[in-house]
Structure 1
Amino acid sequence: RWIDANPEIFKRLAANPLFEIGNHGTAHRPLSVNGKSVYNISGTASPEEVEREIEGNSRKIEKLTGKRPLFFRSGTAYYDDEAVRIARANGVEIAGFEVIADAGATLGAEEVARRIKNARSGDIVIAHMNHPESGTRQGIIDAVSSLRAAGFEFVRLSDVKNRIRRLP
């Protein structure tokens, strides 16, 4: 939905070598084969729905960028074991995270920056750039500037893919 609503921004991000486009699902649903609900969001309810949730968005991203996304994170970051197996069979790796920088774009810039600056080396940080009215953008700018000045480097998941701990 975000890609459809923001095609020009998506194209700019996809062309920027600092960004790696991953798959967050076609309908932003938890991934299960039995419909498990997480945060009041109904999960996929069958193996076929799991595959559609992954593949619909993967195909769209590949069509627009010429590259199939390597990583997938479901809405709510929930997966059952069968959904993880299906994801891997579809050629994607589950992307987890250690730090939720902006609590779903509900936090101010100062708190977003604090959370990112408290991340440890190697942590994966997620934030929601799809809400420009939130403190996410400014918080990321502040934190990244501070961390770079302290000697930190930032990498894309694909740069460290072989060092990422896999879900069982």
Structure 2
Amino acid sequence: MLRVLSLIIVGVAIFFQGCSEVVFIEKVNSQKQLDVRKKGEFPEKDSNQLVDWTSYPSHSTSWGENVTGVKTTFYTENKEIALTFDACGGQYGSGYDEKLIDFLTKEQIPATLFINKRWITENEELFVELAENRLFQIENHGTEHLPLSVNGRTAWGIQGTNSPEEVFWEVVGNQEEVKRITGRYPTMFRSGTAYYDDVAVEIVEDIGLQVVNYSLLGDAGATFSSQKVKHALLQAKPGDIALLHMNQPQSGTAQGVIEAIPILEEAGFSFVTLEGYELR
């Protein structure tokens, strides 16, 4: 907790050392309601807290999708699967798969949606509709859709955050945006590319979120054909977390999901959101 409070204060301190006014204003605004999440609350920061960025290492010991602390499955004694859909945002990632969402809604299939701040900015009305749909659990997919690193590691050609401070704001920026619109802070986080280092995972946990990836690759970044999506989903086991996308309507994701779900239901599977489950 003390280390995260130190992270908060440094945003202000760096401004007075010469950072741009725009960055300063953005961070101060986001701090008005959000600092560190513990037990559903974000307490006021201590303005007298000493700044100590060295409390988090600037070099990590592991990097990837499955570093220590990343959750990939959930505990269940039933034949349950969690479908999760990412909405990544940006120039090529701000689409909306209406066919997919309409199917899930019509068939009453719950899902957890990890949504990026950029996508929310481009689709705020749609985001409100999704957040108001009780089938869907809204969670945090980052602010700029970056791999989460304390020293600028890259994944899939995308450079990650480059310091503990950047890790913090990649998470917190979207936390505040979701709270502003929905009145609720997310409790789970998935980074852009689903890559992390061990220090970044520690920071996210200290903020108060669980880092959630997947055990079943559903559409490979919305690149799978519908038949590949269907085949992937039919490999599901109880407690699997499937990773798919809801922001690429031209992809095979919707059709693959539409074809796979009835078969899975016939096999006795049901679908759940992640809320309330023990993640592993």
Give me the TM-score of the superposition, normalised by structure 1.
0.92
Is 2:104 the partner of 1:5? no
For 2:219 and 2:249, the matched residues in 1 are separated by 12
For 1:82 and 1:70, the matched residues in 2 are separated by 19
- Equivalent residue in structure 2 for 1:28, among 136, 142, 145: 145
Q: Relative CO higher for 1 or 2, CA cutoff 8 Å, sep ≥ 6?
A: 2
**Residue number in structure 2 paired with 1:118:** 235
Runs of 4+ in structure 1 deviating by more than 2 angstroms, as ranges, are: none
Q: Which has the higher helix share?
A: 1
Q: What's the offset of the Cα at 1:114?
A: 1.1
Percent identity (aligned): 49
For 2:257 and 2:127, the matched residues in 1 are separated by 19
Which amino acid in the other structure matches residue 49 of structure 1? E
SS at match of 1:126: strand
- Equivalent residue in structure 2 for 1:95, among 204, 212, 228: 212
Q: Which has the higher strand share?
A: 2
SS at match of 1:157: coil
**Residue number in structure 1 paired with 2:253:** 136
Which amino acid in the other structure matches residue 45 of structure 1? N
SS at match of 1:146: helix
Which amino acid in the other structure matches residue 23 of structure 1? N
**Residue number in structure 1 paired with 2:183:** 66
Q: What's the offset of the Cα at 1:28?
A: 0.8
For 2:270 and 2:231, the matched residues in 1 are separated by 17
Q: What are the ranges of 5 or more consecutive residues in structure 1 without an aligned counterpart? A: none
Q: Which has the larger radius of gyration?
A: 2
For 1:126 and 1:9, the matched residues in 2 are separated by 21
Give me the TM-score of the superposition, normalised by structure 2.
0.56
Which amino acid in the other structure matches residue 100 of structure 1? L
Which amino acid in the other structure matches residue 169 of structure 2? R
For 1:52 and 1:109, the matched residues in 2 are separated by 36
**Structure 1 residues 32-41 or 143-152, which shifts more?**
143-152
Aligned alpha-carbon RMSD (Å): 1.1
Q: What are the ranges of 5 or more consecutive residues in structure 2 without an aligned counterpart? A: 1-117
